[in-house]
Amino acid sequence: MTESARTQNRTENRTENRTENRNRTRTRVPDQTQILPVPGAVGELYDRLTLSAMRDGTFNPNVHIGYWDSPDSEATIDEAMDRLTDVFIDWLKADSSSHVLDLGCGVGGPGLRVVSHTGARVTGISISEEQIKTANRLAAEAGLADRAVFRHGDAMGLPFSDGAFDAVMALESVCHMPDREQVFTEVARVLAPGGRLVLTDVFDRHPRKAVRHPGIDKFCRDLMSTTADIDDYVALLHRCGLRLRGILDITEQTTLRLAEELARAATAEDRPAAMNEGNFDFTDEDAFRPSDLAGADDFGCLLVIAERP
C-alpha cells in the first residue's frame, strides 16, 4: 500500500469514527437505554394497525391523544382528539395562503381538519403505506384532494426543497423516529423563514422514579418509540436551527386524562375506534394496551412551538 493510500485510509477511518461518535451522542438518553425505532419496521407496524382498525369498516381518522382544556371538561375522547388538532391550528398561524407539512400524518384526520378550518394546503407524509392510501381516500371522499395530498416518505430525509413550507405539524410522531436531531434539522431546512413547527412529544417526567411505570416500557417497546430528553430539548431545537417559542408540559390535559377516560370506558363499545384495544393486535400476552398507561404520571407529554428565524 502506498503512503497516500494509507493516509487516505486513516482519514476515512477518523471521519467514520467522528460520525459514529456524533450519532451515539445524538441518540443517547441519560439514565436509561432505549431501543431506537427503525423506520421500515415502524411503517410495517402502522400498516398492520391501520388494517386492523379498518377491519370492521369503521375507525377514527385521528390516531393521536386528546386534549381536555380543564379538569372539569366534559368532552368525549373523540371531541378531545379534535380539540388537540385545534390547539395545533391555533399555534400554527396558518391561513389560506399557507402550505403546511404534516409530519407523520397518520390517516390524515388532523391534516384534513387543518384544511377545512384554515383553507391552507396540506402535504402529509407517513412511513406507513397503508396510512397514506387511507389518507388520500379520505381526502377524496371529503372533496379536499385538491388541498390535501399525502405521500409515503421518511422524516429522516424529507423529499422536499428548502423553504417549501410555511408551517410543520407533528402530532405524536417524532417519538417513532430514530434521531430527533436529524428530523428537526430537516424540518428547519424545509421551513421558510418565520415558519412554525408545532409538535407533541413524549418524555420521562421529573422527578424520575426509581422504577419507571411498566406501561411506558410496553408503549416504547411495542409501538417502537423513545421518550425525549427533556433537559436537552431547548438546546436540541437551537442546534437544528430553530428558535423556541414555547414549551409546555400538557400531561394532565392529555395522556393522564386519556388514561382516566379509557379506564371509565369499561367496554370496547364505549371507546373510540382508534382506542379499541383489539386494534393493538400484538401476539404477546404482555403486549401494550392503552389502558396500561393508567396512572403513569411519569409518562409526560410536551407541546412544543418553534420557528425558523
Strand ranges in 175-309 using DSSP code E only, listed in sequence order: 191-204, 243-249, 299-307
Q: Per-residue pLDDT averaged across 94-123, rounded? A: 98
Model's pTM, two decimal places?
Answer: 0.85
Highest mean pLDDT among 48-52, 170-174, 212-216: 170-174
pLDDT of residue 7: 41
Cell for 174? 417524532
Alpha-carbon span 7 to 4, nearest angstrom: 5
Please list the residues that pair with 243 across neighbouring strands.
307
pLDDT of residue 11: 40
| pLDDT tens for each residue of 79-101 | 999 999 999 999 999 999 999 99
| pLDDT tens for each residue of 13-31 | 433 433 333 333 334 344 4
In the structure, what pLDDT confidence band is assigned to residue 10 with cuts at 50, 70 and 90? Answer: very low
pLDDT of residue 228: 96
Cell for 19? 460520525
pLDDT of residue 32: 58
Reduced to 3 states, what is the DSSP secondary structure of residue 201? strand
| pLDDT tens for each residue of 37-71 | 999 999 999 999 888 877 755 567 888 899 999 99
The distance in angstroms from the start CA to the end CA of the chain is 50
Of 152, 192, 193, nearest to 43 by C-alpha is 152
Q: What single string gives the DSSP state of each residue in 254-272?
A: THHHHHHHHHH--SGGGS-
pLDDT of residue 134: 95
Alpha-carbon span 50 to 41, nearest angstrom: 14
**pLDDT > 50? residue 5:** no
Sheet holding 165-171, edge to edge: 148-152, 121-126, 99-103, 165-171, 191-204, 299-307, 243-249
Of 135, 163, 160, 130, nearest to 147 by C-alpha is 135
Alpha-carbon span 181 to 188, nearest angstrom: 11
Alpha-carbon span 61 to 107, nearest angstrom: 6
Strand ranges in 172-240 using DSSP code E only, listed in sequence order: 191-204
Q: Per-residue pLDDT averaged across 215-235, rounded? A: 95
pLDDT of residue 15: 38
| pLDDT tens for each residue of 230-254 | 999 999 999 999 999 999 999 999 9
| pLDDT tens for each residue of 239-295 | 999 999 999 999 999 999 998 888 777 555 555 555 554 445 555 668 888 878 888
